[in-house]
């Protein structure tokens, strides 16, 4: 087992034995910096071997890992470090533009460990800290109810909240997923999704390393290079997001096939059924559409290896997970009735860190309010319709943005569309569409509005259209509509 490959990063191969030694060395190094049980340690790193090394070194000390989205802006980093009270920041020299100014502004996190050749004078080099530290480490296994990580939700600098995940929550979601996808030591799991996201941590990092499998780290997503890595490394399981699935499905069929790929999990947004079929035909593999959120561990439901596929569904709840649909009065709804999705599971967060009022709104009697709207059929397949916060209510009539977005995206010139409600009148907002055009394409606003009028009631049609080069997105590719509304 110590000789088996744990991590692959380019041409670098790290065995389980070397990984364990690296974790112990860094844990001792962090202890020398004063990190103690319960302390928070922020990790701002790309998908490199030092991410899992840092993460597990923090946990080995009984401390709490705080992964940071590397797409964050300095203002957001300042807010996150202040909110979490992180004692140490582990980062990469390529992110100096993010952390240098923030740490000079009096943030409590004054101890910085930097990976790379260009370490600032106020920081400690990560590799040197490990070299100077011993590989012997004595530690007590943490209790299941002790916090292991704080995963921040995708939001602006001011509204992102830290979901506190216990060891039990992470372990339960990982173990359930391992059984569901039949993962073992012979598997090779690719991490293309940024490791700062909870899905990559649980369904890539934890799932792989705690199963004795091999974790293949990919730091940048470009379809052709990713295809080459997946084929070269014999990847068998790929957690992915819709944008990644679509990009791989569109690759030239003369490109490398992926004969070892046995399962792909698609998570993090609505999935076009034509794209599902196209992907499965392109790679002769199963695409399992799932659903979840950071606060839920993250996976809530998914299609199974040996169950029927239901179009537009996100599958059935995981073993040990309960899902119910309630109306706004808290009344339990019958199958096919649309309402608010609530989840109960050992995998859900214990709280929002430092935000008891928000915790009380989201957690009630062991149930987590997801903020999503959906319904369940007679066989308990879950269907997610819309985010509650994204639903547009115009003069009392509901407008599901995805209805309008689907019509807009049917135009050959439109690559992406996002629809939100805008205007000062909260009772009757105007419908506005943000449009990203295909490369070299052109279309007039009135042409898109007329397209909608032909397929939708007048009140659902956009009044305003704004063309933009890109839509703001989370690490999993979900459009951040709150930023569009603001």
The DSSP code for 486 is -
What span, in angstroms and rounded, lies between the C-alpha atoms of 321 and 413? 42
The CA-atom distances, in angstroms, between 227 and each of 220, 231, 245, 247, 262 are: 12, 6, 11, 10, 15
Say if CB 218 and CB 226 are below 8 A apart. Answer: yes
Instruction: Please state whether 312 falls in left (phi above 0), alpha (psi between -120 and 50) or beta.
Output: left
| Helix extents (H) in 363-419 | 401-409
Give the three-class secondary structure for 257: coil
Give the three-class secondary structure for 202: helix
Say if CB 58 and CB 95 are below 8 A apart. Answer: no
What span, in angstroms and rounded, lies between the C-alpha atoms of 416 and 251? 19
List of residues 6+ apart from 454 with CB closer than 8 A? none
User: How many other C-beta atoms can be found within 10 angstroms of the C-beta atom of residue 179?
Assistant: 11
The C-alpha torsion from 184 through 190 and 196 to 201, rounded to 10°, is: -10
Q: Is the pTM of this model over 0.85?
A: yes
Say if CB 26 and CB 129 are below 8 A apart. Answer: yes
- CA dihedral sign of residues 70, 167, 137, 37: positive
Residue 87 main-chain phi, psi, to 5 deg: -85, -35
What span, in angstroms and rounded, lies between the C-alpha atoms of 136 and 27? 10
Q: What is the chain's pLDDT, residue by residue, as a tens digit (486 residues)?
A: 789 999 999 999 999 999 999 999 999 999 999 999 999 999 999 999 999 999 999 999 999 999 999 888 888 888 899 999 999 999 999 999 888 877 766 666 779 999 999 998 889 999 999 999 998 987 777 888 999 999 998 754 446 899 999 999 999 999 999 999 999 999 999 999 999 999 999 999 999 999 999 999 999 888 889 999 999 999 999 999 888 898 898 887 766 778 999 999 999 877 888 888 999 999 999 999 999 999 999 999 999 888 888 999 999 999 999 999 999 899 999 999 999 999 999 999 999 999 999 999 999 999 999 989 999 999 999 999 888 788 888 877 788 898 899 999 999 999 999 999 988 776 778 999 999 999 999 999 999 999 999 989 898 999 999 999 999 887 667 788 888 988
Q: Which of 359, 356, 386, 362 is nearest to 373 (CA)?
A: 386
Interstrand relation of 124-125 and 111-115 (parallel, antiparallel or unpaired):
parallel
Instruction: Beginning with the edge strand found earlier in the chain, give each strand of the sheet holding 263-266 in spatial order.
Output: 12-15, 5-9, 214-217, 188-191, 237-240, 263-266, 286-292, 299-302, 316-317
């Amino acid at each position: 087992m110590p000789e088996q490959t744990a991590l692959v990063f380019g041409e670098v191969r790290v065995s389980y034995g070397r990984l364990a030694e690296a974790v112990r060395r860094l844990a001792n190094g962090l202890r020398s910096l004063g990190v103690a049980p319960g302390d928070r340690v922020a990790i701002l790193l790309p998908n490199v071997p030092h991410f899992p090394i840092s993460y597990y070194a923090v946990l080995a000390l009984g401390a709490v890992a705080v992964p940071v989205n590397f797409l964050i802006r300095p203002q957001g980093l300042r807010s996150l470090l202040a909110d979490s009270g992180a004692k140490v920041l582990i980062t990469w020299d390529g992110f100096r533009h993010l952390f240098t100014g923030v740490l000079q502004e009096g943030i409590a996190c004054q101890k910085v460990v930097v990976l790379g050749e260009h370490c600032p004078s106020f920081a400690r080099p990560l590799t040197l800290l490990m070299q100077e530290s011993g590989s012997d480490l004595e530690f007590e296994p943490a209790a299941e109810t002790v916090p292991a990580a704080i995963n921040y939700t995708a939001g602006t600098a001011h509204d992102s909240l830290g979901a506190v995940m216990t060891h039990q929550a992470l372990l339960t979601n990982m173990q359930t997923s391992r059984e569901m996808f039949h993962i073992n030591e012979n598997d090779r799991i690719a991490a293309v999704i940024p490791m700062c996201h909870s899905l990559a941590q649980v369904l890539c990092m934890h799932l792989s390393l705690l199963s004795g499998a091999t974790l293949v780290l990919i730091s940048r997503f470009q379809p052709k290079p990713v295809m080459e890595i997946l084929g070269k490394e014999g990847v068998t399981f790929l957690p992915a997001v819709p944008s990644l699935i679509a990009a791989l499905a569109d690759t030239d069929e003369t490109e490398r096939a992926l004969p070892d790929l046995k399962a792909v999990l698609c998570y993090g947004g609505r999935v076009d059924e034509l794209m599902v079929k196209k992907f499965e035909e392109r790679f002769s593999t199963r695409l399992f559409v799932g659903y979840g959120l950071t606060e839920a561990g993250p996976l809530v439901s998914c299609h199974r290896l040996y169950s029927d596929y239901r179009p537009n569904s996100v599958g059935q709840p995981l073993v040990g997970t309960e899902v119910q649909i309630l109306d706004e009065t808290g009344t339990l709804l019958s199958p096919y009735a649309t309402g608010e999705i609530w989840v109960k599971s050992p995998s859900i967060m214990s709280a929002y860190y430092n935000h008891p009022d928000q915790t009380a709104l989201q957690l009630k009697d062991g149930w987590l309010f997801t903020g999503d709207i959906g319904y369940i059929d007679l066989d308990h397949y879950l269907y997610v319709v819309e985010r509650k916060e994204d639903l547009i209510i115009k003069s009392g009539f509901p407008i599901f943005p995805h209805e309008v977005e689907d019509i807009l995206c049917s135009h050959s010139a439109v690559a992406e569309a996002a629809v939100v409600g805008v205007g000062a009148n909260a009772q009757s907002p105007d419908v506005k569409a943000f449009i990203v055009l295909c490369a070299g394409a052109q279309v007039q606003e009135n042409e898109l509005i007329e397209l909608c009028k032909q397929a939708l009631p007048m009140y659902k049609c956009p009044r305003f259209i704004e063309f933009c080069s890109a839509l703001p997105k989370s690490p999993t590719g979900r459009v951040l509509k709150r930023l569009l509304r603001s």
